Amino acid sequence: MKRTIENIINSSITAKKKLIDSELENIEKAVQVVEDCILKGGKLLLFGNGGSAADSQHIAAEFVGRFKMERKAVPALALTTNTSTITALSNDYGYDISFKRQLEAFGVRGDVAIAISTSGNAKNVLEAVKEAKEKGIKTIALTGHGGGALLKLCDVSIVVASDDTARIQEAHILIGHIIAEITESDIFRKNNGRR
């Protein structure tokens, strides 16, 4: 069992090390997009399915609450949390528009949509990104498995170089934490917690 545990941990480390080799520039671009959005009064809209839905909520909470410092709240909304909305949209229109319709309702130019999909091919995530682009909303993808359709659809795509969904999701939370930490420091540390 110890060998299995060690192999799983090493697999996670390998996926994260590959981010250093290939994704530093894209992570930096994502931070810049998020910082620009916040400084101009925009909000973050996050969405994904399953574990990526939980990741959306986790990352949104880091911005609305705090990451490492006391500061003003940053508007971030996980489109995965309102079960009445999601089930009504899925029932009335079909699951593929469950995030698209919410972006239509809440998204405005100047916001940032953060699409999370380990495969990069989740239909409802792709539909939401298309809606975001039509509205002039910047898009960031957190994905894996080579990026899927999200790779070329989003303004910034961060691809975890793995085919293991669990390792991809672990790296997505790391990326979310990096974005939150740098953004918080850049925007708020200089201004004693104020924008």
pTM: 0.94
Domain ranges of the chain: 2-191
pLDDT of residue 73: 95
For the chain, which residues score pLDDT lower than 70? 190-195
Q: Name the strands in the sheet holding 76-78, side by side, starting at the edge strand that comes first in the sequence.
A: 76-78, 44-47, 112-117, 138-143, 156-159
pLDDT of residue 192: 61
Token pair in block for residue 18? 């590959």
pLDDT of residue 72: 93
Token pair in block for residue 129? 């990104």
Give which of 88, 104, 96, 156 is closest to 121, Cα–Cα.
96
pLDDT of residue 2: 93
Q: Which residues lie across from 78 on neighbouring strands?
A: 46
Going by the DSSP 8-state scheme, the letter that residue 69 receives in this structure is S
Query: Other C-beta atoms within 10 Å of 116: how many?
Result: 31
Query: Other C-beta atoms within 10 Å of 109: how many?
Result: 9
The values of phi and psi at residue 86, to 5°, are -60, -45
Class of the CATH domain delimited by 2-191? alpha beta
pLDDT of residue 193: 55
Going by the DSSP 8-state scheme, the letter that residue 14 receives in this structure is H
Residue with tokens 């528009």: 97
Kindly give the interhelix angle for 165-188 and 24-39, rounded to the nearest 10 degrees.
50
Strands (E), the chain: 44-47, 76-78, 112-117, 138-143, 156-159
pLDDT of residue 156: 98
Token pair in block for residue 59? 């990352």
Q: Is 160 helix (H, G, I), strand (E, B) or coil?
A: coil
pLDDT of residue 191: 65
pLDDT of residue 189: 79
